[in-house]
Structure 1
Amino acid sequence: MTRLVLDCDTGTDDAIAIFVAALHPELELMAVSTVNGNVALENTTENTLRVLDLIGAKVPVHAGASRPLVRPDFPIPRDILNAGNPEFQVAYLDLPPSRTPVHETPAVRMLIDTFMDPANADIVLVATGPLTNVALALAAEPRLARKISRLVLMGGAHLGGNVTATAEFNFWVDPEAARAVFSSDIGEIVVMPLDATHSAPLILADCDAFDRLGTPAATACSRFLRHRIEQYHQEGDTPSAPVHDALCIAYLVREDVITAWGHYPVSIETAGEQTLGQMVVDTRPWATARVNAAIAYKASVDIFRDVLMTAFKATG
C-alpha cells in the first residue's frame, strides 16, 4: 500500500483523481487539503466533500488557502479569465450536496503535523492544484522540506501552456508558491506537466466502459469525462480530453504509466511580461544549477485506463 495526502482544487479532473486515490486497492488516502484554484476555496472544499461522500470514503478534508501566496488574486481574475467559457469549470460538481463537515484543522497545519511525524515518513504528498498550501507549510516550518520524501505534482509545461502561451494554469495562478516549492529541499519532486497529460487523453469509448461498470465512481467519472471532452473537442479531431490530475495518482500505482522522463534543473518564472508562471526546464547538458525535479514527458493511455478501471471496480 502507498499512503498519500492529496492537496487539490477540486474540479472534474481532481474529482477523478480523488476517486482513484480513495478506491484503488494499492493506495491509502490519508487526508485531502483544498486550495483556491479551478474554483474558489469554498467550492473546491464542497466539491471534495461531495466526491468522498458519494463513495462513502471517510477521509478528512482540510480547507486551505483562499488566495495566492503573495498576490491578491490570479494574474487575471477568474471571472475575467473564464468569461468566454464559464462552463469549462463549473462552480459545483454535479453530485449530491455533502453531508460530511470539513475538518477543523486547517490545511497548512495538517500538512505540517502529518509530515513532521516520523511515523509518516513513507507518505507521498500529491499536489494537483496551485501550490499555495505547500508553500505556506514550507514557510511556516523550515524543517518540513526534508521530511517530505516525495512530492508528485501536476503542473507546468515544457512545451506550450494552456492559460498562456508558456504557462500551465496551476503554476500561473500562484507562481511565487511554485517557485518556493521548487527552491526547497524536498527530497524528490516528480512533475506531471501538460506534455505528459495531453499524451494520454481519454475518449468517449472510455466513458462507455465506465458506464458499463455502473459503480458510483465510474458513473460520475463518465459524466465528468463527457463534459471535459465536450469542452476540449475541436472540429475534425477525435473527441478526447486529458484528465491531468489523475495521472499523478496512476503513477503511484504504476510508475511505468510514464514512458519518457527527464531529470533537470527547474525554476518558475514570476515576473515575465509574457512568461509569468512558466516552468523553465534547463535541458542543457552543461547546466550548473541543481537538478531538482523529474519531468514526465509521455504517458501510456492503456496503463492509465487500466488503473482507473481497477479503482472504479473496487466500489462494487
Structure 2
Amino acid sequence: MPRVFLIDTDTASDDAIALAMAMRAADVRVAAISTVAGNVEVRQAANNALYVAELCGVSIPVYVGAAQPLRRPNAYAHWFHGSDGLGDHGYRPSKSSPEQKGAIDAIIETAFSNPGLTLVCLGPLTNIALALGRRPELTSQVSRCVIMGGALNGGNVTPAAEYNIWLDPDAAHIVLRSGLRIELVTLDLCLGDAIVNAHDIAQLNSLPGPFGSFAVTCSSRAREVQRERSGADGLSLADPLAMAIALDPSLVTRWSEHYVEVETESELTRGETVVDRRDIARSEHIRQAWAQAIGGSKTKIGRTIDVKKWKQALLRSLSP
C-alpha cells in the first residue's frame, strides 16, 4: 500500500520541485494539495501546483485555501521567486482548474478519509491552523506532520525569522501547540554543504527528461538572489529538502526535541522560533511566558542531515 501524502503549499519554485518529488515517488499517493497565500497569491499557487501535476502526468485535486494570514497583510516573495512564483519564464497555464471545494474542508475530509497520512507543510501554516480550529481532533488522523519552517540561527526574511513562520506567526503558534506529531525542518538544514551548488545544478540540468531542467529554470530568480547575497552560485532548496525528509526520514542524522515558541507580537523579532535548547523553559522566572509551550509536547527538530544522501535523493527523484 502506498503512503498517503497531503501537501499544503504556497507553490513557488522550490515548492514546485518538492511537489514533483512527491508526485513521482513510486510508494506515495498524493491524495490532495491545498494552497495558501505566501510566496504568491493563493490562486497563483494553485495554478502552479496544477502545472506541476501536468508536467508529471498525474491528476491530483488542488484546493484553494486562505488568501491571507490570520491577522496580517500579505507579503508575497516575488522578489525571490518572480511574480508568477516560477521565475517569470512564461510557463503555459494549466489546462486544469482548482476544485470548487475550499482547502479547509478538503484538508479535514482528506485526513479523516486517510487516517495515518503524512501532512507536508511547505508554506505559511494558515490553512492548517484554520482546519485545526474547526476540527482539533484532526491531529489524531496525522501520523507525521513535516513542516518546512523556522530557524535556529537567524532568518532569511528578517535577522530573526524564516519566511513561512514570519508571514503568519499566529498560525504557526497554533499549529505548534496543537499536538500534531511535528517534524520541523528548519532553514538551517538547507544551508552550508546542503546548498545545491554549481556542480549539483549542472547535474540537474544534464538529467534526461524535463524535470531536472525545470527545477533549475524555475529557480532562476532564487539563484540570482543567492548570488547577490552570498557571492556564490547555488540554490538553498528548503522545500525539496523537507519533502526528501518526508519521503525518507533517514536523511536526518540527528534529531532533538524541544519546547518551541513563536514570537507573534514584536515587529523586530516577529516569527522567530524560540527554541528551548537548554531546557530552561520551566524555570520559575520565565514559567508564565512559556506556560502554553510547556503545557504541551516538545517539537521534534532536525539538526543534521546526510548531505550526500540528500543530493542523491534530489537527483534520483527528478530522474526518468
Common fold, TM-score beyond 0.5? Answer: yes
Question: What one-letter code is carried by the residue in structure 1 that aligns with 2:54?
Answer: D
Give 4+ residue runs of structure 1 displaced > 4 Å after superposition: 234-237
Which residues in structure 2 correspond to 1:137-148 (within 5 Å)? 137-148=131-142
Q: CA RMSD in A?
A: 1.8
Query: Distance between the aligned counterparts of 1:191 and 1:30, measured in 2?
Result: 22
Q: 1:236 to 1:132 in 2, by over 3 A?
A: closer
Which residues in structure 2 correspond to 1:246-285 (within 5 Å)? 246-285=240-279
Query: Distance between the aligned counterparts of 1:235 and 1:216, measured in 2?
Result: 29
SS of aligned partner of 2:256: strand
SS of aligned partner of 2:93: coil
Structure 2 gap segments, 5+ residues each? 283-293
Which residues in structure 2 correspond to 1:79-158 (within 5 Å)? 87-92=79-84, 93=86, 94=89, 95-117=91-113, 120-158=114-152
How big is each residue's C-alpha offset from its partner over 1:238-293, in whole Å with a ceiling of 9 and x where there is no partner? 41221001111111232222233211011111012311111111112354424431
Q: Is 2:156 aligned against 1:162?
A: yes
- The equivalent residue for 1:174 is 168
Alpha-carbon offset, residue 210 of structure 1? 1.9
Alpha-carbon offset, residue 129 of structure 1? 0.3
Query: Distance between the aligned counterparts of 1:87 and 1:171, measured in 2?
Result: 18
TM-score normalised by the chain length of structure 2:
0.89
**Contact between 1:111 and 1:137, CA under 8 Å: does it hold in 2?**
yes
TM-score normalised by the chain length of structure 1:
0.90
Query: Distance between the aligned counterparts of 1:111 and 1:235, measured in 2?
Result: 37
Matched residues, number: 302
- The equivalent residue for 2:19 is 18
- The equivalent residue for 1:307 is 313
How big is each residue's C-alpha offset from its partner over 1:20-48, in whole Å with a ceiling of 9 and x where there is no partner? 01002232222111000001112111111
Query: Distance between the aligned counterparts of 1:279 and 1:67, measured in 2?
Result: 21
Structure 1 gap segments, 5+ residues each? none
Query: Distance between the aligned counterparts of 2:9 and 2:56, measured in 1?
Result: 18
How big is each residue's C-alpha offset from its partner over 1:40-83, in whole Å with a ceiling of 9 and x where there is no partner? 11211111111111221111111100011133x14xx44xxx6x
- The equivalent residue for 1:68 is 69
Alpha-carbon offset, residue 235 of structure 1? 7.6
SS of aligned partner of 1:88: helix
Query: Distance between the aligned counterparts of 1:114 and 1:150, measured in 2?
Result: 14
Query: Distance between the aligned counterparts of 2:219 and 2:191, measured in 1?
Result: 14
Query: Distance between the aligned counterparts of 1:32 and 1:216, measured in 2?
Result: 22
Query: Distance between the aligned counterparts of 1:234 and 1:297, measured in 2?
Result: 27
